[in-house]
Each structure stands twice: as C-alpha cells, then as structure tokens.
Structure 1
C-alpha cells in the first residue's frame, strides 16, 4: 500500500533512505512528512520503500534491499506523478530505473573530480 507518511514513521523512513546510502537531512525529511511530501510503501506492517518530494521534484527514493525489483519503487513514482509534472536528479547507476518509467534523461559529466549527475522529467508531462 502506498500512502503519505505519518509523523510517527520518521525513523522507519530514515532507515530506508539511509539503508540505500542516501544522504538526507532528518529535519528536512520531518518537515516534508508534515507537508505530505513523503510517500511510503507499507507491506506486512513495515515501511518497505520511501519517496521524498520537494514540490514535484523527487529528492530521494529508496526501497529496502530485500524488496528491490518488486515494483515498489515504480509504484512510489507512479503515485508521486499523480500530483503533477515530476522531475528527479540522480546518479547514472540508477538511470535504468528512471528510463523504465518513461523519464526523459540528460546526464552531465562532472568537472574536476565532481561525479556525473543525471536529471530527468517524466515523459508526457508538461514543465
């Protein structure tokens, strides 16, 4: 089940995000939960995936390791896209995930040791 996160789920959301080695600010995640900008995927009473939005921009998305490749991440993106045009910034390693969902993607090589970053917008959605 995909739904907005509740305030009492902050620790579970942070565990999922940090378990995917995403750098997140707990205070910002707490504020996003308060705004209704964090979605969770719950299964068997546990948070299995989380998505953090800033407006319609995906700030972070993660699924617990044992539940990856089961459609949870796709379901989180689909639910977030119901809110309007969706964009995301991400590492090239997760480009196939976003491509599989129909994102139009552009990657820019970093300069002077900066890592390559990609950004995408969900195809078929206006700016």
Structure 2
C-alpha cells in the first residue's frame, strides 16, 4: 500500500485507515483488549473510514474505532502494549477530528491522563470516567 497523508510510521507500527477486509483482524485485537465491540458496528466503521489500524510486520496490532469524535474502542495486541502504539492511534484520530471524547474504566485512566485528556469522574456511573482531548 502506498503511503498517504493518513498513513504514518510510528513506533515500529504504521497507523493508517483500516480496510473492510480487515474486520476479523480488528475484532481479534479488540477481543484481546477485552472490549465488547459489536462486529457489525466495527464493519460499518471500517467501511466509513472511521477505523484506524496500527500495522506491524504485515499484521494488525492495534485498532481505534470512531463515531464522530467519540472513541468507541481502542486496543493494542498484548505483545505490542507499552510501545506507544495506542498513543499513536489516539494522536492520528485527533489529527482527523480535532477533538476526541471517550468514556472508560478507571483501569485505563493513566493512559488517557498521559495523553493530556481532561478527565471527569462520571458520578452517575460508578467507576467510569469521561475524557476530552482537543487539538491545540
């Protein structure tokens, strides 16, 4: 695949727009991240160009699905975690949208804090947080 504006070499993985033919690979990454992602919704995101993937050594090692400026799901293969792949996926999404919103559990709060998200406790939903990140 030819490099385009949307493609970016990052941390040993290339972040690019996902292809609808990669649904199974994307679902494997999301499942490995213990995310409850609906395959039909992910297929729609891929078809609409709203799913970014991180590719390394010819395989999908990370994925991020967007619904407008809302991050529906972001996950990285266990073997690639801690190498900046998730960070690069979020930054590529921010480059596309200019603003991102995400709801998440406390276990991943340090990840979103490290990226500069403004985080608020969702008192109506115990143990959940909402983060907002703006491209400034």
Q: Are 1:4 and 2:45 matched, yes or no?
A: no
The unaligned stretches of length 5 or more in structure 1 are none
TM-score by length of 1: 0.91
Question: 2:110 aligned to 85, 96, 101, which one?
Answer: 96
Offset, 1:124: 5.4
Alignment of 1:22-101 (within 5 A): 22-83=35-96, 84-101=98-115
Offset, 1:21: 0.7
| Cross-structure match for 2:127 | 116
Q: Following superposition, which runs of at least 4 residues in structure 1 exceed 2 angstroms of deviation?
A: none
Please tell me the root mean square deviation across aligned C-alpha atoms, in Å. Answer: 1.3
SS in 2 for 1:86: strand
| Cross-structure match for 2:10 | none
| Cross-structure match for 2:8 | none
TM-score by length of 2: 0.85
Offset, 1:64: 0.5
Equivalent residues of 1:92, 1:107 under 8 A apart: no
Question: 1:15 aligned to 28, 33, 36, which one?
Answer: 28
Aligned residue pairs total 122
